[in-house]
Structure formats: structure tokens, C-alpha cells
A and B are shown apart, each in its own frame.
Chain A
Amino acid sequence: MSLLDALPAPRLGRGSYPNVVLVSLSAVMLAAIWGLDAVSMAPNRIVQGTGAGVMEALGWPGALLASLLVLALGALAFRPNPTNYSAALGVVVLILALMPFGLMVAGHFLIDPALPQARLGIGAGYWVVLFVLLLCLIELRLRLALTRLWPMLILAGVGLLWWLCAWLWLGDLALVQEYRARDQQLIRAVGQHVVLVSVAVSISVVLGTLLALLMRRYARLQKGAFAILNFLQTIPSLALFGLLLAPLAWLSANVPVLAKLGVSGIGNTPALIALVAYSLLPMVRNTYIALEEVSADTLEAASAMGMRASQRFWQVRLPLALPVLLEGVRITTVQAIGLTAVAALIGAGGLGTFIFQGLGQAAMDMVLLGALPILILALLVDAALGALAEALRPGGVQ
């Protein structure tokens, strides 16, 4: 988040000056509520659903409540001060908490209980409102100068509530039906995904750090290594997975020891190799830059204090480099989460299986079931590592 350091401090407590950002976001939400389909319903999982607007889905009391809450958010933003911002945060959390109940109401109105296959889909309007609410949360966090922990706590609470609703009452929802049909499979896929990503990232952290340290010692290595790593990134991930199929298949056929170790053309081995190959560039680059950019004055001061070279490295250079280094881990991990989904094409398992099987069957709910956890995983890792880097920055959390 080095970019944000350069930003001007957000204006807080200028009484007469409306917060244009929140006002515009509220306007977008109102437009989405009334202009886009809130939900869709389909008689079974393959047929494309038909959309329904907010009046059909929630009836007029529900539509009125939704609009009033959004209007309240916009109105609070006209008088920005800490109290109103806190109230706005409350309104955002309230809307987030009420959203699954809206789906329940819509299911009650729109889904015929006589059709057991009928299912309720989430419409474009619903997604837009959800996304804009997250933007509101970000904006309010910045204005109230809260740490990253707060939105995470709020979202964790809201997520728990949604999970509870989905578990108990949202049987009509297409996503829930799809989940119930293959919950074991999904949980296993999440597990595989997480394991693949963490193994790949751990390997590349170790290799990347070693490589960066070697580069610092042997300057000649630097140019060649960066050229190779840069070139690796121009090969599409899809192709790298494909290119590893044949050599590994040959190896496992001809070297029995490797075959016994589980090396084969399809599955985890090519996936891991490709993931590590891709992860190395951001990892090495950030580690190298992080270690290089520690100010010479600080290091000189450390020497003047009588620190030995190893002490200087462990007690000065490394701690100062850690936030940038973690930024590299964050980029690497988020990228690996996305790439692992592609690895499903070569039989590595993970959440990509759901996406590609769903695309093959034209079952969009299944695609959604695979894509949403990937997105959530990526956002979670991003937030968690971002918060960690913030906490480790010299001087700690401001």
C-alpha cells in the first residue's frame, strides 16, 4: 500500500462540505435497486433464469425500506463529521445484514413450492449493491481512519450471519442448492486449492529469498536471472501448464523413483512447478528491492553503533525490509490463488474444477460456486497480509 502513503490525509469534520463520494455511491445503489434485476428465477439448473425487479422481489414495503436505508446513507454524507460517519457505518452494516433476508422474501414471493427444482438466482442489481456497499465500507474506513482490522471484523460478522441464513432458510437459492448437491466435493476442492497455493508460495518464498540473497552477493547473476524470470511471465499460464505435461509424463514413465514419489504428467506436479515458476518473479523482485532500499544512512548508523555484519542484517536490514517483502508475498499469493484455478485444466483439482465443469455443462450456478470461494480467498489473503504488513511497518500501526 505504498501508494496510499502518498495520499493526502482524508478530510474529516468539515461540517458544511458534503462527502461527494458517499453521495454518489448512494445514488449508484438507488439506480441499481430500481434499474436492474434484483433476482432471477429458473425452473431448473440449466435453464437461463428470468429476471425480476425490486417490486416483484420484495413487494413495496421491502423496496421502500431498501430505498430509505440507502437514502439515509446519502443524507448522512451531506454533513460529514465523525458521528455521522459512524452512523453511516451502522447503516451500511444494517443493509449488509438485511440483504439475505431480502432473498428470503423474494424466494417466498417468486418460487412456487410445487416445483422442487425451481431456484432463485442472484440478479445484477443485488451484486452491484453488494459491491458498492463494500466500496462504502472502504471509504468509511479511510474517513474514520480505522485500521484494516475493523472492516475485516465487520465482514466476518456479516459473513457468519449470511452463512446462518443460507444454512437455515435459503433453500430456494440456486447457490445453496448447488452447494447442497456437492458440499463434500466443494470442501475437498477448497482444501486442495489452499494446500496447492500454500505449498507453491512456501517454496517460492524460500527459493525467492535465496535467489535475491545470491543476487545481492553476485551482481552478475542479477541481470540474467531477472531476464529469465521476466521471460517466464510472458508465457501464458495456460501454456506453461500444458508444456509441462509431456516432459513430466516422460520422466514418470522412465524414472520409477519419481513415479513412486507421485510425479506424473497431469495433476499436482506440473501445477506446482508452473505455480512456483510464476511466483518467483514478484517474490524475487520485491525481496531484492526491499533489501536494497534500506537507507545507507541507517546501515551506517548501525555500523557506527558497533553492530557486526550479521547483526546489521538480522536486526536492521531485514526488519526494515519486511513490509516490502511481505508485499511480495501478498502479490505472489493472490496471483497463485488465481493461477491454481487454471491448474484444474491439467487435473490438479481445486476450485477451478467447479468453474471448468460448470462452463462445460453450461451450469452457471456451479461456475459461481467455484468462482466465489476463489474471490473470497483472494480478498481474505489480500486483507490479512496487507494488515500484517501495516502492523510490521516501522513504528507499528499508527
Chain B
Amino acid sequence: MTHSATRRSAGGVHVTQDHLWMRPLFWGVLLCICVAGIPYADALFRWLEPDARQVIYQRAPFYALLSRHLLVVGVAAVVTIAVGVAAGIAVTRKRGRDFLPLVAQLASLGQTFPPVAVLALAVPVLGFGTLPIIMALMLYGLLPIVRNTLAGLQEVDADIKMSARAMGMTPAQILYQVELPLAAPVILAGIRTSVTINIATAALGATVGASNLGDPIIAGIINGNMAYVVQGALIIALLALTLDSLFDSMQTRWRQRLSSS
């Protein structure tokens, strides 16, 4: 994501404010309809699995699974964003500059660790349940955020920073009022990638006893019941699409603000 690419798409997309939030709204409504409607869609899923005793996953209601899924992804995202952005800021300051190469390498190493392996290694230390999957998601989601924070901050024009300093801004003011707002679209893109990947990856948590939208999928694989798998996958995919389009709109909105101001 180079600066010129940012500018090009900002100029090319002429989304008016009213239409900006339509797509996330559309996917969000579809998600809600599915969560609420699947328990009543017996006939539809019966067609998929004519011989199964049950075609609707009933061990837990879908809204509970969805909220637990969101909780896991949310906690991991908050921690990852805090750590990733803080690390990105720290190593681009004068004092932390020595850590820059190591942090860059470390972040890229983080994504080399397969989430399944991290999950498996975290279980002996953290026990079964939700903690290992949060840990795995954090490690896996760190790279895109750190990478984009670094890229975003380094792309800020040196001349702009210089003129901010000439105006008498303190380093903290330059960071909060100049660098971060300018880097925000790129950082946001990193957060978007990280969260979207993690929504799908969180389903793995069901294998270590973290109850979330992966549960119906695992139950479906074990019992050979396709209907369960479809239900879990459908809701996860819709969740991913909702959040992805939400981030997309936020990025567009931010670029509009940058280019209009």
C-alpha cells in the first residue's frame, strides 16, 4: 500500500456519505437474519441432510456462539492493536529506533508460526478453553498491524513533519496531530486484514474447547452432518464480510476527510 495508491483510490472512489455505510449494513442485516432464522429453517437444511436425526445445531443458540466468537476475536484484536500500534510507534521514535529491525523481523516471524501449532503449544501452558485461542490469534494477527503501522508512519512526508516542528509542535503533538492521522488509513488496512483473518482462524478454537462458531463445524465433521458445517461456516463468512466491509467504509471515510481537509 503505497501513498500514491492511497491517493489514487481516494480520488477514484466517489462514494457519497449516504451510500458509504450501505454495504456493511447489508451484510450485517443478512448476518442477523441468518442467526435468528437458521433455527426455523429446518426444511431447508433437511434438504441438505435428508437422513440426519437433527439438522439444526442445537447445543447452543447461534447468537450465544456468535457473541463468544466476537468476544474472542475482539479481545485478541484489542490487545493486538494496542501492542502492534504501540510497538510500531515506539520503534519509529528516536529512542526506540534500535529495536526497529528486530521488531520488523519478529512480526514477520509471528505469521510463520502456524495458528494450529501455536494453539497446540499454548494448551499445555494455558489449559483448555478460550485463552489458548486468544493467544494464537494475537500472535497471528500481529504482523499485519505492525507492518502497516511501520509502513504508514514511515510514509509520512519528512517535509510535513519538518514544517510541523517549525510551527513549534512538540514531538507528542506531531505524533497525534500529524503522523497518526496521516498514517491512519494504512494502519486501518492492517487492522482490517488482521481482524478478517482472525475471524476465520478463531473457529479453530473449537478444537481446544473454546466454544464459538467453530463448534457446529467440528460437530458436523465428527458426526458427518453437513448441515451443521454449513450453518457454522455461513455465519462466520457473513461475520467476516460484515466487518471487512465496515473497515472498508471506515477507510474510505478517513481518506475523504484527509483529502477534504
CB of B6, distance to nearest CB on chain A (Å): 16
A334 on interface, CB distance cutoff 8 Å? yes
Produce 1/0 per residue, B185-225, CB < 8 A to A.
00000000000110111011011100000100110110010
> Would A19 and B221 be within 8 Å (CB), given that A6-B154, A234-B240, A237-B200 are in contact?
no
Is the Cβ of A378 less than 8 Å from the Cβ of B113?
Answer: yes
B54 on interface, CB distance cutoff 8 Å? no
Is the Cβ of B125 less than 8 Å from the Cβ of A359?
Answer: no
A341 on interface, CB distance cutoff 8 Å? yes
Given contacts A240-B233, A379-B109, 17 further A-B contacts (CB under 8 A): A7-B101, A8-B100, A20-B98, A135-B106, A231-B241, A238-B206, A243-B226, A245-B229, A341-B114, A355-B117, A356-B207, A358-B120, A359-B120, A367-B120, A368-B120, A372-B117, A374-B117
CB of A200, distance to nearest CB on chain B (Å): 14
Q: Which 7 A-B pairs have the closest CB atoms?
A: A338-B114, A239-B233, A242-B229, A234-B240, A371-B120, A236-B203, A364-B124
Produce 1/0 per residue, B98-141, CB < 8 A to A.
11111011101101111111001101110000000000000000
Collect the chain A residues with CB atoms within 8 Å of residue B255's CB.
none
Is the Cβ of A375 less than 8 Å from the Cβ of B113?
Answer: yes
- B116 is contacted by which of A3, A236, A355 (Cβ under 8 Å)? A355
> Would A368 and B112 be within 8 Å (CB), given that A234-B240, A236-B236, A346-B221 are in contact?
no
Collect the chain A residues with CB atoms within 8 Å of residue B207's CB.
345, 356, 359
In the complex, A371 Cα to B116 Cα: how many Å? 8
A235 on interface, CB distance cutoff 8 Å? yes
- B102 is contacted by which of A139, A236, A237 (Cβ under 8 Å)? A139
Is the Cβ of A236 less than 8 Å from the Cβ of B120?
Answer: no
Is the Cβ of A242 less than 8 Å from the Cβ of B233?
Answer: yes
Which A residues from 152 to 206 make CB contacts under 8 A with B? none
Collect the chain A residues with CB atoms within 8 Å of residue B123's CB.
359, 364, 367
Which A residues from 332 to 362 make CB contacts under 8 A with B? 334-335, 337-339, 341-342, 345-346, 352, 355-356, 358-359
In the complex, A91 Cα to B224 Cα: how many Å? 55
A241 on interface, CB distance cutoff 8 Å? yes
B179 on interface, CB distance cutoff 8 Å? no
A124 on interface, CB distance cutoff 8 Å? yes
Produce 1/0 per residue, A206-237, CB < 8 A to B.
00000000000000000000000001011111
A56 on interface, CB distance cutoff 8 Å? no
Collect the chain A residues with CB atoms within 8 Å of residue B218's CB.
238, 345
Is the Cβ of A371 less than 8 Å from the Cβ of B121?
Answer: yes
B145 on interface, CB distance cutoff 8 Å? no
A68 on interface, CB distance cutoff 8 Å? no
How many residue pairs bridge A and B at CB < 8 Å? 152
Is the Cβ of A3 less than 8 Å from the Cβ of B150?
Answer: yes
In the complex, residue of chain A having the shortest beta-carbon distance to the beta carbon of B125: A124
CB of B147, distance to nearest CB on chain A (Å): 6
CB of A267, distance to nearest CB on chain B (Å): 13
Collect the chain A residues with CB atoms within 8 Å of residue B32's CB.
none
Collect the chain A residues with CB atoms within 8 Å of residue B226's CB.
242-243, 245-246
A-B contact pairs, 22 of them (CB 8 A): A3-B108, A3-B147, A3-B150, A4-B104, A7-B104, A10-B101, A20-B99, A138-B102, A142-B105, A234-B236, A235-B233, A236-B200, A237-B200, A334-B112, A341-B114, A341-B117, A345-B218, A359-B207, A367-B124, A368-B121, A371-B121, A372-B117
B232 on interface, CB distance cutoff 8 Å? yes
In the complex, residue of chain B having the shortest beta-carbon distance to the beta carbon of A377: B114
